[in-house]
Amino acid sequence: MTELWRLGAGELAARIAARKLSPVELMRETLARIDAVNGAVNAVVALRDREALMGEARLAEAMPAAGPLHGLPIAIKDTVAVKGVRSTWGVPFLADFVPKEDEAMVARLRAAGAIVIGKTNVPMFAVGSHSKNPVYGETRNPYDLSVTVGGSSGGAGAALATGMLSLADGSDMMGSLRNPGAWNGVYGFRPTVGLIPPEKSDAAVTGPISTRGPMARSVGDLELLLSVQSGGAFVAAAAPARAPRVGWLGDWGGAFAFEDGLMMQAEGVLSLMEGIGWQVEPLAPPMPREALWQSWTDLRSFLLAQDHAPNWDDPARRAMLNAHILWEIERGRSMTGETLAVAAGLRRQWLDVLRALFDQVDLLVLPSAQVWPFPVEIDWPTEIAGQEMDTYHRWMEVMVPASLAGVPVINLPAGLGTNGLPSGVQLIGKAGSDAELLAWAREYEAAIGPVAVVTP
């Protein structure tokens, strides 16, 4: 008999719809899988009362299908308010916060039939790509418990990789769906900004460079969740009639440092793409790396300073913020109008450059990480291959080109390195091409086969 935790969401949903699987049976096995593996990785937090969950599963069994996620357990990223569930954002002053209503995305998931079982772990306020915080501690990588899962959707990535979840939501400002996707050997998709409606709780100015999105162990399951997250705005596309033209941006002309082995993994992906008929060509750096970095860091700091103004203004709260967040707020609060105008102008220039690039190619490829998963004890890598990292997030610079533009991008699993750890590559499309990009990603998936489910 197949262990249910090895199956994807689409297969589970089909079995439930056909009355070949009971939501009660699925919930029972989901909780058993969490019991078996979560203690090692610490990915699922704020797990709800088991009797209450079994009661909701029995109700789902007795009811007609409510939607495409009927009876499927899901845990929500702990930067999202969920009614009746402890929602902490990884910060001590929200450690006991229990929202009285769902955010809109959660309401859409429930309306589609999903059963919310708890939360997935994050860095404090989702800042930084190392999922540890003073409320729940660190999430460990199921491939090697001594290293990080990345972030900020790190708990989601580990929960998928270990079979505790078949679907997971996440969010992505600077790689928070792609980085943990790569480091857990799963798919993470950052949609075109705006495809998923922003929440009332999202700061009005964060829209252009941040979005929520899906994570899963298959592209089809990404599409399933994205259709619900987007309120039906996303519809999966048929397989493209032609092979794509792919532009390989590599190490940005030597500007980005990489740890040994990562470029070899990415080049293996390029060979696979050529093997299935895709046309791959190397591209020169289309814009100076420092111009993108300047625009990104200035806009990011300004936006985060707006988001966290209430936490900065309250001395008790400010004392509980970590160094990363304080650094961003201090930079953002000191930003001048001229600095912001330059940053916005550089972003517009990059958008123009990208439009011209996408006249030449259909897709762009970059590695999904510049380092392998690092030890959980450290906060962030301070150097890569002898190149000093001058900020807490410089080691993720390879994520900036797609993030700054707000275009769709998916992490494609790239297999395991000689160290036994997973890596990935970013497949980037033009704005609004989400369905086409995911259809091409399905071709890649068919070539590599199913991703692994890991028992730590």
The domain segmentation of the chain, as residue ranges, is 4-448
Pick 4-448's CATH classification: 3.55.10.10, 3.40.50.300, 3.90.1300.10, 3.50.30.10: 3.90.1300.10
- Helix, strand, coil proportions of the chain in percent (round to 5)? 40, 15, 40
> CA torsion sign, 112 to 44 to 187 to 301?
positive
- With a cut of 90, say whether residue 201 has pLDDT above it: no
> Where does the pLDDT of residue 205 fall: very low under 50, low under 70, confident under 90, or very high at 90 and above?
very low
The answer to whether residues 351 and 299 touch, using CB atoms and an 8 Å cutoff, is: no
Please tell me which residue, 216 or 240, carries the higher pLDDT value.
216
CA distance 106 to 112: 10
The tens digit of pLDDT for each residue in 78-100 reads: 999 999 999 999 999 999 999 99
Phi, psi at 397, each rounded to 5°: -60, -25
The answer to whether residues 90 and 136 touch, using CB atoms and an 8 Å cutoff, is: yes
Q: Tell me the mean pLDDT in the region 403-432.
A: 98
- 3-class DSSP state of 109: helix
Kindly provide the residue ranges of all beta strands, DSSP E only, lying in 173-209, ordered along the sequence.
187-190
CA distance 180 to 187: 9
The answer to whether residues 170 and 214 touch, using CB atoms and an 8 Å cutoff, is: yes
- With a cut of 80, say whether residue 200 has pLDDT above it: no
Q: For residue 312, give the amino acid letter.
A: W
> Where does the pLDDT of residue 199 fall: very low under 50, low under 70, confident under 90, or very high at 90 and above?
confident
CA distance 49 to 75: 13
pTM over 0.85: yes
Q: For residue 416, give the amino acid letter.
A: L
State which H helix or E strand residue 412 sits in: strand 409-416
Structure tokens belonging to residue 99: 């929202």
Catalytic residues: 77, 152, 176
> Where does the pLDDT of residue 204 fall: very low under 50, low under 70, confident under 90, or very high at 90 and above?
very low
